[in-house]
Amino acid sequence: MNIFPAIDLLDGKVVRLAQGDYQRVTIYSDDPVAQAREFYDSGAQWLHVVDLNAARTGKAHNTGSIAAIAAAMPELKIQVGGGMRTTEAIDAMLQTGVTRVVVGSKLARDPAFARLAVEHFGADALVAGIDARDGVVAMDGWTTMSSIPAPELVAELSALGLRHLVYTDISRDGMQTGIQPDLYAAVAAAAGFPVIVSGGVASLVDIEAARELGSELVEGVIIGRAYYEGIINTAEAVAVLKGQK
């Protein structure tokens, strides 16, 4: 299992949105590379980056910052999401030096795109990003609610060849209310492979809960606001997830 510290980029700044609301923005840093360096120096082997501008518009906006992070820390594995709706966009992002690309809204609208992307890039270069509220898929940077049941989409994408998944419980994201372990166990069961926990991680107790689910169900845990608010220390989170604390 791995800790995935989150860097959400909006207009080149490191921010967090409350429940995906672009009107409820907190800015934490104007230096994404320095923030990534802090995570890396604390023992994180992965970084989860979201281009919030692209998530809303479908047009890459923070590619320069992402490329700068990858160039500064080539040993750090990076997965990036936000606006990845064409094979050209995925290819351009992979060319920056990141490890994996998260595809979200496009998969909800056109699940067959998953098969095309897997054939073109390989399953290890791709991550399905499913954002859901009360079990229903949200799209376009959480600004649009679909009528698609999340477990149904998870199973379909698995059948089409995807083998990595970030599942965000957006009703809890940024709210520090804790995760729902049973939810992620159910999502992993639907997928048939371990998933990345996202949304609501509030303390090391949540990291421990994810670890207790086991590596068969959980690939890793994304930490965001709890870190930025000084509640979770990255080094401690890494140790807890690895069972060293």
Active site residue 21: no
Length of the chain in residues, anyone?
245
Cα→Cα distances 179→32, 134, 138, 213, Å: 26, 13, 18, 12
Give dist(CA 209, CA 31) in Å, integer: 32
Catalytic residue among 8, 169, 173, 206: 8
Q: What are phi and psi of 96, to 5 degrees?
A: -75, -15
Cα–Cα–Cα angle for 110, 7, 102, rounded to 5 degrees: 20
Catalytic residue among 51, 131, 140, 173: 131
48 CB-contact burial (10 Å; exposed 0-12 / middle 13-18 / buried 19+): buried
Residue position matching structure tokens 């998530």: 55
Residue position matching structure tokens 């049941």: 149
The catalytic residue positions are 8, 131
